[in-house]
């Protein structure tokens, strides 16, 4: 049975400015800012949370089913996923819009100026969870605000367990919205910054958030992750990476591993360990979908890191 991934599909446009922004942005002229940066180096990557999660789930041998909205420029993305064997039958095309796009310019100090155009993502609420068949579990990942609210309710109404993953979309929701998500969701996963925001907006501690779901997972970057479950908290170690090259998409790789474990009936801690392996593999590659480990390599890293076989 499939894992239904509700979230964004996007193009990531990454540019490098071979200088420092501070040499060109004058503090006393910020009120009339008008600057242009020459960026000789540019990469365009396939991205978006649904796309990245589906890619990682497929690497593990899972059955991802994406539910997303794209624009009139989506043919290269959809053709690539079809070639990878990832179904796109529930990806809706909005012909009057562009696919969501992120434009990131980085300077020599690793400062970033980012612009994000949501495009077709704003129409995600037009998709219906009930249109997908034979779904075992799902995830509500960052997407259009109305889409995230709608899909969470539809998962719950259909009795399909799902992960609530607000990610960078968390600021769109107030405390009441977030409490509703926690009421509907089976699991919740955030990074440490998002955990602080979630707690501030709901008035709950991390332990109290955990009481409202079957498991609450907080990722901590290079320090691993905290997994709250069954009234306890387990630490999951960070898996050493071959190289710290690009963190883009690491959270999505983690969620791909988490979903694979849950879909195979693994316990939450074992699923989080596999998630950690996937994040460590991804960070050694540029872009969200350019790493391509074999299943054998994933199993080897899992055993080396946690001392047990990957048997799910």
The residue with tokens 């991804």 is 282
Decide if 226 contacts 235 (C-beta within 8 A).
Answer: yes
Decide if 169 contacts 190 (C-beta within 8 A).
Answer: no
Whether residue 252 lies in the annotated active site? yes
* Closest residue by Cα to residue 201 from 220, 180, 230: 180
Half-sphere exposure for 302 (CA within 13 Å, toward CB):
23
Domains belonging to the chain, first-starting first, are 2-18+43-306 (3.40.1190.20)
Instruction: Please give the torsion angle defined by the CA atoms of residues 227, 228, 229 and 235, in that order, rounded to the nearest 10 degrees.
Output: 40
pLDDT tens, per residue, the chain with 312 residues: 899 999 999 999 999 999 999 999 888 778 888 889 999 989 999 999 999 999 999 999 999 999 999 999 999 999 999 999 999 999 999 999 999 999 989 899 878 898 999 999 999 999 999 999 999 999 999 999 999 999 999 999 999 999 999 999 999 999 999 999 999 999 999 999 999 999 999 999 999 999 999 999 999 999 999 999 999 999 999 999 999 988 889 999 999 999 999 999 999 999 999 999 999 999 999 999 999 999 999 999 999 999 999 999
* Closest residue by Cα to residue 68 from 104, 95, 94, 102: 94
Q: Which of 19, 165, 252, 267 is catalytic?
A: 252
**Relative orientation angle of helices 49-59 and 250-263, to the nearest 10 degrees:** 50
Distance CA 188, CA 209 (A): 9
- Phi, psi dihedrals of residue 66, rounded to the nearest 5°: -85, 140
Half-sphere exposure for 107 (CA within 13 Å, toward CB):
13
């Amino acid at each position: 049975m499939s894992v239904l991934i509700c979230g964004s599909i996007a193009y990531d446009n990454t540019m490098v400015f071979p200088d420092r922004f501070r040499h060109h942005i004058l503090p006393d002229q910020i009120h009339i800012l008008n600057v242009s940066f020459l960026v000789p180096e540019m990469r365009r990557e396939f991205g978006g949370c649904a796309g990245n999660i589906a890619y990682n789930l497929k690497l593990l041998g899972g059955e991802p089913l994406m539910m997303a909205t794209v624009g009139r420029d989506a043919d290269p993305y959809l053709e690539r996923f079809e070639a990878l064997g990832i179904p796109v039958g529930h990806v809706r095309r909005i012909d009057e819009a562009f696919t969501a796009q992120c434009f990131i310019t980085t300077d020599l100090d690793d400062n970033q100026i980012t612009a994000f155009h949501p495009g077709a993502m704003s129409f995600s609420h037009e998709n219906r969870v009930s249109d997908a068949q034979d779904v075992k579990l799902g995830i509500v990942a960052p997407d259009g605000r109305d889409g995230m609210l709608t899909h969470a309710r539809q998962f719950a109404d259909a009795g399909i367990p799902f992960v609530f993953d607000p990610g960078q979309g968390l600021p769109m929701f107030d405390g009441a919205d977030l409490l509703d998500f926690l009421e509907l969701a089976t699991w919740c996963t955030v990074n440490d910054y998002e955990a602080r925001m979630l707690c501030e907006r709901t008035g709950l501690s991390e332990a109290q958030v955990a009481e409202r779901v079957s498991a609450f997972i907080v990722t901590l970057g290079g320090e691993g992750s905290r997994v709250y479950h069954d009234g306890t908290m387990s630490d999951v170690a960070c898996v050493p990476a071959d190289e710290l090259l690009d963190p883009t998409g690491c959270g999505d790789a983690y969620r791909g591993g988490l979903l694979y474990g849950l879909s195979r009936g693994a316990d939450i801690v074992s699923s989080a360990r596999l998630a950690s392996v996937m994040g460590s593999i991804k960070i050694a590659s540029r872009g969200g979908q350019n790493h391509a480990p074999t299943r054998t390599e994933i199993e080897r890293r899992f055993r080396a890191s946690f001392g047990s076989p990957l048997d799910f």
